[in-house]
């Protein structure tokens, strides 16, 4: 009888310890996370010179190429943000940029690396977004991913994540796998989100040729705390750096009588073909474990878990 409370305490203690270990196993003693090992897909492709593969999208005087055009600094000041648009349009492929975000105060600032068919198919909009959202002083930047297909821009499919590193200190890789099988968002090669092109997604899956964009702009109206923290231009200019640009896949050639794809000199599908290659058409067990690691620890919002916004959740949410 006397032993019972002890036993209970023991069980409680073991429980607490297990809980702490679970929380702590990703962090080393100095508070840094140790990300899981995953295949380094970004190592498979060459870096494109930004000053050759892109054109000015807006804010030309706030665009500064550095390192002979292999990197670019995109500035946002009171006059303008700035952005680049890829010379080519792509219909599936692998798209990646190393990005370093503005340091210091960044409320309301949005840095975006995304794909869109905006001008090519009006009212038939496809878009795949990485949006990096500035935050109040002392707080972290947030990562938002979103996807639109077939003009259905009335429903945003946002997910938000905290970072497991300081995205303003060094460059980190933000990558998109986009093919007929799935769309995957990766950060430092760790998948954070997979959107499969399955029965429920097929009518809203992005499938039209898209341009690649790198931008910085004023998102005062919504980006930080739903717009409560606008951009403060006392801290301008806000500077985002992009480099290590990879855009590999089907280049859309609309000048042909039947528009089609040209895959950079490749004869046929290979293991490193982001459109058909085995490394790209489904996630490996290791990548799935990496994705679980990222989502379990760092995802703070998913539209699939927002019944306030969607009294009836979109159909793909039920299959998760
Ligand atoms: C913003 O930057 C541009 C380009 O460097 C410059 O011409 C302009 O004067 C700047 N605007 C402000 C308000 O500083
Ligand atoms: C700069 O880029 C151009 C075009 O890609 C290339 O021909 C040239 O060799 C580069 N210069 C240096 C110093 O890397």
Tell me the domain boundaries of the chain.
46-252+265-314
Is pLDDT of 90 > 50?
yes
CA distance 259 to 269: 20
Q: How far is the CA of 144 from the centre of ligand 1 (A)?
A: 28
> What confidence tier does 66 reach under pLDDT thresholds 50, 70, 90?
very high
> Catalytic residue at 140?
no
> What confidence tier does 156 reach under pLDDT thresholds 50, 70, 90?
confident
CATH number (1.10.10.10, 2.60.120.200, 3.90.1150.10, 2.30.110.10) of 46-252+265-314 reads: 2.60.120.200
Q: Which ligand is nearest to the CA of 60?
A: 1
| Contact (Cβ atoms closer than 8 angstroms) between residue 180 and residue 207 | yes
Residue with tokens 């000053």: 51
- Choose one of 53, 68, 70, 87 to mutate for the ligand 2 pocket test, by most ligand atoms within 8 angstroms of C-beta: 68
Q: How far is the CA of 52 from the centre of ligand 2 (A)?
A: 11
More confident site: 75 or 203: 75
Is pLDDT of 320 > 60?
no
More confident site: 17 or 278: 278
| pLDDT confidence of residue 123 | 63
Q: CA 70, 261, 40, 190 torsion: positive or negative?
A: positive
| Contact (Cβ atoms closer than 8 angstroms) between residue 262 and residue 253 | yes
Averaged over 121-144, what is the pLDDT?
Answer: 84
Pocket lining for ligand 2, CB < 6 angstroms? 49, 68
Kindly tell me the burial class for residue 230, based on how many C-beta atoms sit within 10 Å of its own C-beta (0-12, 13-18, 19 or more): middle
pLDDT tens readout for residues 11-37: 444 444 444 444 444 455 556 788 999
CA distance 230 to 121: 32
Averaged over 252-280, what is the pLDDT?
Answer: 72
Residue ID of nearest Cα to ligand 2 atom 10: 68
Residue with tokens 């054109």: 55
> What confidence tier does 153 reach under pLDDT thresholds 50, 70, 90?
low
CA end-to-end span of the chain: 47
| pLDDT confidence of residue 27 | 54
Residue ID of nearest Cα to ligand 2 atom 9: 68
Write out the two tokens for 141: 């930047």
Q: Which ligand is nearest to the CA of 75?
A: 1
More confident site: 279 or 185: 185
| Contact (Cβ atoms closer than 8 angstroms) between residue 112 and residue 217 | yes
> Catalytic residue at 199?
no
Residue with tokens 């474990």: 289
Residue ID of nearest Cα to ligand 2 atom 14: 68
């Amino acid at each position: 009888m006397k032993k019972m409370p002890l036993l209970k305490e023991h069980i409680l203690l073991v429980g607490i310890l297990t809980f702490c270990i679970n929380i702590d196993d990703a962090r080393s003693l100095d508070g840094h996370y140790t990300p899981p090992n995953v295949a380094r897909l970004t190592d498979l492709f060459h870096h494109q010179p930004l000053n050759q593969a892109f054109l000015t999208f807006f804010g030309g005087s706030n665009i500064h190429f550095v390192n002979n055009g292999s990197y670019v600094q995109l500035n946002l000041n009171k006059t303008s943000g700035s952005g680049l648009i890829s010379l080519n349009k792509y219909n599936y492929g692998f798209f990646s940029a190393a990005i370093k975000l503005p340091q210091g105060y960044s409320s309301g600032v949005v840095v975006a690396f995304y794909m869109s068919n905006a001008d090519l198919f009006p009212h038939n909009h496809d878009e795949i977004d990485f949006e990096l959202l500035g935050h109040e002083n002392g707080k972290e930047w947030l990562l938002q991913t979103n996807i639109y297909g077939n003009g259905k821009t009335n429903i945003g499919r946002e997910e938000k994540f905290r970072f497991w590193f300081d995205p303003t200190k060094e460059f980190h890789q933000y990558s998109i796998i986009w093919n007929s099988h799935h769309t995957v968002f990766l950060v430092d090669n760790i998948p954070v989100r997979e959107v499969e092109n399955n029965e429920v997604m097929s009518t809203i899956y992005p499938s039209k040729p898209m341009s690649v964009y790198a931008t910085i702009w004023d998102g005062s109206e919504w980006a930080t705390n739903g717009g409560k923290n606008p951009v403060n231009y006392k801290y301008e200019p806000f500077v985002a750096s992009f480099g290590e640009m990879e855009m590999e896949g089907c280049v859309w050639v609309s000048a042909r009588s039947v528009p089609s794809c040209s895959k950079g000199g490749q004869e046929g599908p290979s293991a490193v073909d982001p459109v058909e290659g085995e490394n790209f058409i489904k996630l490996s067990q290791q990548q799935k474990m990496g994705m679980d690691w990222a989502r379990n620890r760092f995802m703070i919002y998913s539209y699939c878990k927002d019944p306030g916004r969607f009294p009836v959740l979109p159909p793909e949410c039920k299959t998760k």
